A and B are shown apart, each in its own frame.
Chain A
Amino acid sequence: MSTQDDVPRIALEPASTTPPYEQVRRQLAELIETAVLPEGARLPPVRQLAGDLELAAGTVARAYSELESAGLVQTRRGGGTVVAPRRALTPEELQARLAERARQYVTDTRRLGAADGDALAAVRRQQAASPA
């Protein structure tokens, strides 16, 4: 059994206009793509996760189904749903992911009131401080 600290969590935003299944899908995809959920990690059974999130089982099942279509998870009969082996992104996919994260970063820094130049400088400093 896992302890509270080492288990990734997801939570829903009740006020969000994003449908619950998409919130679940997006958070799980993020955890998988950032390797917080490593290859082979088992996801909770649909009914268990749905019960914990107070959602209908079909909502979580839809999120799992979309993750499977995207190649992020695999569902094995009797073996549950596990994180699929990571594959290299195509250049187009990589550009799309970078654009998505950049858009989010720009939104966040502008909300903070930071100038674009300062935000970019922060990225450069972070890149310099973090080994590749």
Chain B
Amino acid sequence: MAVVRLVGLVVGVAAGLVLGRTGPTGAAAPAIAGAVVIAVLVSELGRPRPERQHGSGAALEVRRVRDYARPAVAWGVVIGGLVLVAELAWLLAAGTWVPRDGVGTAWHSPGTGPASETVELNGMPFRYETLCAEPTEDARFTGRSDTGFYLVSDGDWGMELPSDLVASVCRGWVSGQGWAEGEGVVGAAFGTMATAALALLVAPLVLRATVRAPRAGADEQTRERDERWRRGSAGTVVATAGWIVFVPLAVWNIALLLVEDPASFTGPAEYVRLAMLALLAAAAVIGASAHAVALTRAPDR
């Protein structure tokens, strides 16, 4: 059964990486999650619950999730998931969505309008117009495009966005892929956020159902088998959620690291940012590895 899970991990990561490069990038994180969930479900079929003995009574015990899933590990998954969602939400919040065939969200920027020009941005034609009749330092530009796209500051345009990090990430990672709707970094970010959020919502419910499932029986031997099954299943749920959270967290932060260019750094804040990214990436790699080991270890019968 460990082999089935290992195959699920490998296939999921391979599919996620291929989808992340070729698109639809929004399916990358769900592919990683879907493959491991399927593998776990298949492997659990080969590890049935101890047969139930009817009419054996009940112990007046309160079975709690924390008795079966190590709190530190479970909280690690929760924190990893929240960091991932927050990081991507911040990334998306820093940009501007410009819808297909229409006038996009306007933003304030120093400009020299009135003017109208078509330029190429990340491989897509992009037309902008100043809306002010007179040159001003606060002219409004509005993007127009044949397809929807997501726009973040790249510095050259002087748009007011909160972070150079966001700009460098998006420029670097999706360069050449365009900003087509549902594609590129935005699709990947939404897909990752939705997958991580779903994992964080569903895993506690599955854990609770596992822990509170009826006891198989009252005698010592059956109870021991029941405990092993319950503990193994709870560990599998946490490890599955951990894998779903930490693999994308590692991939995102490694991608962010790769587009950084220390040669262009102008101050210590950029080095701090680089160090934080490296720390997050390393923590995520360690977390993903630990959960992979937990998933592929032969479960107790």
Identify the A interface with B (CB < 8 A). 1-2, 4, 7-12, 14, 28, 31, 37, 42-45, 47-49, 51-54, 80
In the complex the two chains form, what is the Cα distance from A54 to B62 in whole Å?
Answer: 17
The chain A residue with its CB closest to the CB of B60 is A8
In the complex the two chains form, what is the Cα distance from A14 to B57 in whole Å?
Answer: 11
Whether B138 sits at the interface, judged by CB under 8 Å, is: no
A-B contact pairs, 25 of them (CB 8 A): A1-B61, A1-B63, A2-B61, A4-B59, A4-B220, A7-B61, A8-B59, A8-B60, A9-B60, A10-B57, A10-B60, A12-B55, A31-B60, A42-B62, A44-B58, A44-B60, A44-B63, A47-B212, A48-B62, A49-B58, A51-B212, A51-B213, A52-B57, A52-B59, A53-B58
Whether B223 sits at the interface, judged by CB under 8 Å, is: yes
**Contact yes or no, A9 B55, CB < 8 A:** no
**Contact yes or no, A11 B212, CB < 8 A:** no
Q: CB-defined interface of B195-225 with A at 8 Å, one 1/0 digit per residue?
A: 0000000000000000011110010100100
A7 smallest CB distance to B (angstroms): 4
**Which listed residue, B57, B61, B213, touches A11 by the CB 8 Å rule?**
B57
In the complex the two chains form, what is the Cα distance from A43 to B60 in whole Å?
Answer: 6
Among the interface residues B56, B60, B63, which one has the most CB atoms of the partner chain A within 10 A?
B60
**Interface size counted on chain B using CB atoms at 8 A:** 20
The chain B residue with its CB closest to the CB of A37 is B60
For A43, list chain B residues within 8 Å (CB): 60, 62
3 nearest CB pairs, A to B: A11-B57, A52-B58, A51-B214
For A31, list chain B residues within 8 Å (CB): 60
In the complex the two chains form, what is the Cα distance from A7 to B215 in whole Å?
Answer: 14
For B215, list chain A residues within 8 Å (CB): 52
A70 smallest CB distance to B (angstroms): 17
The chain B residue with its CB closest to the CB of A7 is B59
In the complex the two chains form, what is the Cα distance from A12 to B55 in whole Å?
Answer: 7
B156 smallest CB distance to A (angstroms): 54
The chain A residue with its CB closest to the CB of B211 is A48
In the complex the two chains form, what is the Cα distance from A132 to B214 in whole Å?
Answer: 41
**Contact yes or no, A12 B57, CB < 8 A:** yes
In the complex the two chains form, what is the Cα distance from A60 to B17 in whole Å?
Answer: 51
A45 smallest CB distance to B (angstroms): 7
For A4, list chain B residues within 8 Å (CB): 59, 218, 220, 223
A126 smallest CB distance to B (angstroms): 27
**Which listed residue, A11, A28, A37, A42, touches B56 by the CB 8 Å rule?**
A11
For A44, list chain B residues within 8 Å (CB): 58, 60-63
In the complex the two chains form, what is the Cα distance from A11 to B213 in whole Å?
Answer: 18
In the complex the two chains form, what is the Cα distance from A42 to B59 in whole Å?
Answer: 12
A128 smallest CB distance to B (angstroms): 33
**Contact yes or no, B212 A9, CB < 8 A:** no
